[in-house]
């Protein structure tokens, strides 16, 4: 196998896995195109996240442990853009909240300028503390009033400010294109958070960025979970609009029914497959655009500069490159891609469920994808995204199968057997850790190495 053939062959194997999942029910495959496409859609989104992380790690050697936070920000953007505004929420307290947030931002800005202008000493400390304390209490006073107003509005079904969808609470689902607008906005939100983190932690030791991103992810999640006025917190937002048709509408459309029957397919199955297929096409389009951009940037002078910085920071600095600035730039870009993918994922799910965001699933799994696929190589991370997601889904059936084999000789009803069978679910974390360590140790360049 020559080197040039490696990439196409590996992608062909990946395609074969998805085809097997769709056609045969042998071993752990399910034999349903519905599952196959469902896995594929999430795999495509994972591939986009992996692309963003590869930008940070593969191009620049930045270690981001807060992917989950950026993904959650993308999900938040979907609600804030594609849902309709809750009637009365803006007048009932929404403007007040915005005003209080501006107050808060103003306080921080004033504190920064005070810090820069006054001479160091005790006076500066006292003035700074007083300013921050007054600003904080003012902010809380205005903010709490606004929040109370918003959350009082029909708390059982809304109680949040809602989004910008022009369709209103009854007709918002007709404006599915708003979901598409939400995707880049998700990227922007994530980019903003990344800028704040990068500005503080970049330029220091490499571990500090990792710790700071770990922190921002926890905080973003805490905000999304607890600020009910924003996106209902753990009460979840359901029924997000879709950029693709609904199954029910397809089943009621005479044209679609005729087409499905002409192919000899069951109408219900055909409609679900058609919906998943259209999502898949949308996601593939986004992935391809990003992949082309990433490839172009990698080959551009900018990409060469990035790799030069990664390989020898001191030399790059001596050549007059501003290492910290370039790092900030690429960190923001990569996080924005993660935010975009997060918004896409929330649209696909049709709901925002903050309780389901877990660092092991959204941060560390993406890392495994990048490392296994081949860091520094865009095709590698896309392949890693597809492959690892497929296995993430299949580890449980494989684990079950393995436990069945292991416990085959044991008598039924023994507590050890029951424990082993029940614990198959935890095989995921374990096996992902093993995969990460093995690849890092024995094949650190991944499946498709960087050229």
Q: Single out the segment in contact with another protein by CB under 8 A; choices: 6-14, 263-271, 359-367, 408-416.
A: 359-367
Say whether residue 308 binds another protein (CB under 8 A).
Answer: no
Contact between 205 and another protein by CB under 8 A: the answer reads yes
Q: Is 214 in the site for another protein (CB under 8 A)?
A: yes
Measured on CA atoms in the order 376, 377, 382, 385, is the torsion positive or negative? negative
- Helix ranges (DSSP H) in 55-176: 60, 67-82, 89, 95-117, 122-151, 168-171
Q: Smallest gap, in angstroms, from Cβ of residue 227 to another protein?
A: 10
440 part of the interface to another protein, by CB under 8 A:
yes
The answer to whether 56 and 330 have CB atoms below 8 angstroms apart is yes
Verify binding: residue 391, another protein, rule CB under 8 A: no
Judged by CB under 8 A, does residue 428 bind another protein? yes
List the one residue out of 332, 341, 281, 286 whose CA is nearest residue 78.
341
- Is residue 12 a contact residue for another protein (CB under 8 A)? no
205 or 451: whose CB is closer to another protein?
A: 205
Tell which one of 22, 58, 61, 373 touches another protein (CB under 8 A). Answer: 61
Residues 6+ apart with CB under 8 A from 403: 420, 421, 423, 424
When the beta carbons of 232 and 428 are compared against another protein, the nearer one is 428
Residues between 65 and 84 that touch another protein (CB under 8 A): 65
| 395 binds another protein, rule: CB under 8 A | no
CA-based torsion, 154, 156, 161, 163: positive or negative: negative
In this chain, which of 98, 110, 402, 427 binds another protein, going by CB under 8 A?
427
Q: Is 219 in the site for another protein (CB under 8 A)?
A: yes
Pick from 367, 379, 390, 392: which binds another protein (CB under 8 A)? Answer: 367
218 makes contact with another protein (CB under 8 A): yes
Reading phi first (left if > 0) and then psi (alpha if -120 to 50, else beta), residue 240 is in beta
- 63 touches another protein (CB under 8 A): yes
CA distance 330 to 202: 11
DSSP 119: P
What is the spatial distance between Cα 412 and Cα 283, in angstroms, rounded to a whole number? 46
Nearer to another protein, 216 or 448 (CB): 216
Q: Enumerate residues 141-200 that contact another protein by CB under 8 A.
A: 144, 200
Which residues inside 224-263 make contact with another protein, applying CB under 8 A?
225-226
Does 327 bind another protein (CB under 8 A)? Our answer is no
Exactly one of 259, 293, 436, 449 binds another protein (CB under 8 A); that residue is 436
For residues 357 and 354, give the distance between their C-alpha atoms in angstroms, rounded to a whole number.
Answer: 6
22 vs 66 by CB, closer to another protein: 66
Q: Is residue 145 within 8 Å of residue 96, measured between CB atoms?
A: yes
Instruction: For the CB of residue 432, give the shortest distance to another protein in the complex, in Å.
Output: 6
Site residue total, another protein (CB under 8 A): 44
First-to-final CA distance of the chain: 16
348 touches 279 (CB < 8 A): yes
- Return the residue of 102, 145, 433, 443 that touches another protein, per CB under 8 A: 433
Cβ atoms of 209 and 373 within 8 Å: the answer is no
Decide: is 87 part of the binding site for another protein (CB under 8 A): no
Q: What is the dihedral of CA 154, 160, 166, 169, to 10 degrees?
A: -30
Pure H helices in 202-266: 206-226, 228-231, 247-252, 254-262
Q: Residue 72's Cα: distance from chain center in Å?
A: 6
Q: Is 269 helix (H, G, I), strand (E, B) or coil?
A: helix
Residue 98 Cβ vs another protein, minimum distance, rounded to whole Å:
20
Task: Identify which of residues 218 and 450 has a Cβ nearer to another protein in the complex.
Answer: 218
Site for another protein, rule CB under 8 A? 61, 63, 65, 136, 140, 144, 200-201, 204-208, 210-212, 214-216, 218-219, 222, 225-226, 359-360, 364, 367, 371, 423, 426-434, 436-437, 440-441, 444
């Amino acid at each position: 196998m020559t080197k040039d053939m490696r990439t196409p062959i590996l992608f062909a194997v990946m395609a074969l896995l998805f085809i097997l999942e769709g056609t045969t029910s042998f071993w752990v495959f399910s034999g349903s195109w519905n599952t196959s496409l469902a896995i594929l859609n999430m795999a495509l989104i994972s591939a986009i996240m992996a692309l963003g992380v590869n930008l940070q790690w593969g191009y620049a050697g930045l270690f981001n442990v807060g992917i989950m936070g950026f993904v959650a920000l993308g999900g938040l953007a979907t609600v804030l853009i594609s849902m309709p505004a809750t009637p009365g929420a803006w007048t009932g307290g929404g403007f007040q909240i915005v005003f209080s947030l501006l107050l808060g931002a103003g306080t921080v800005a004033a504190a920064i300028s005070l810090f820069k202008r006054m001479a160091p000493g005790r006076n500066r400390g006292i003035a700074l503390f007083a300013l921050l304390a007054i600003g904080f209490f003012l902010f809380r006073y205005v903010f709490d009033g606004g929040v109370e107003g918003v959350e009082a509005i029909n708390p059982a079904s809304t109680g949040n400010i809602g989004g910008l969808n022009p369709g209103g609470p009854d007709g918002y689902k007709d404006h599915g294109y708003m979901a598409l607008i939400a995707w880049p906005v998700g990227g922007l939100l994530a980019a903003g958070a990344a800028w704040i983190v990068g500005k503080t932690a970049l330029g220091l030791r490499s571990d500090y960025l990792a710790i700071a991103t770990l922190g921002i992810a926890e905080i973003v999640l805490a905000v999304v979970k607890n600020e009910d006025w924003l996106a209902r917190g753990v009460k979840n937002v359901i029924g997000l609009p879709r950029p693709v048709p609904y199954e029910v509408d397809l089943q009621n459309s005479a044209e679609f029914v005729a087409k499905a029957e002409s192919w000899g397919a069951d109408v219900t199955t055909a409609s679900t497959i058609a919906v998943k297929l259209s999502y898949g096409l949308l996601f593939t389009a986004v992935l391809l655009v990003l992949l082309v951009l990433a490839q172009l940037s990698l080959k551009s002078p900018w990409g060469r500069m990035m790799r030069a910085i990664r390989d020898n920071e001191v030399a790059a600095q001596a050549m007059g490159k501003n290492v910290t600035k370039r790092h900030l730039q690429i960190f923001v870009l990569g996080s924005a891609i993660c935010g975009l993918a997060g918004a896409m994922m929330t649209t696909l799910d049709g709901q925002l469920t903050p309780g389901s965001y877990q660092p092991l699933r959204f941060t560390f799994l993406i890392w495994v994808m990048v490392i296994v696929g081949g860091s520094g190589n865009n095709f590698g991370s896309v392949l890693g995204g597809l492959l690892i997601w497929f296995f993430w889904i299949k580890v449980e059936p494989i684990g079950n199968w393995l436990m069945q084999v292991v416990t085959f000789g044991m008598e039924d009803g023994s507590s050890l057997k029951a424990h082993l069978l029940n614990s198959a679910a935890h095989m995921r974390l374990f096996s992902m850790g093993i995969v990460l360590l093995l690849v890092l140790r024995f094949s650190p360049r991944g499946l498709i190495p960087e050229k």
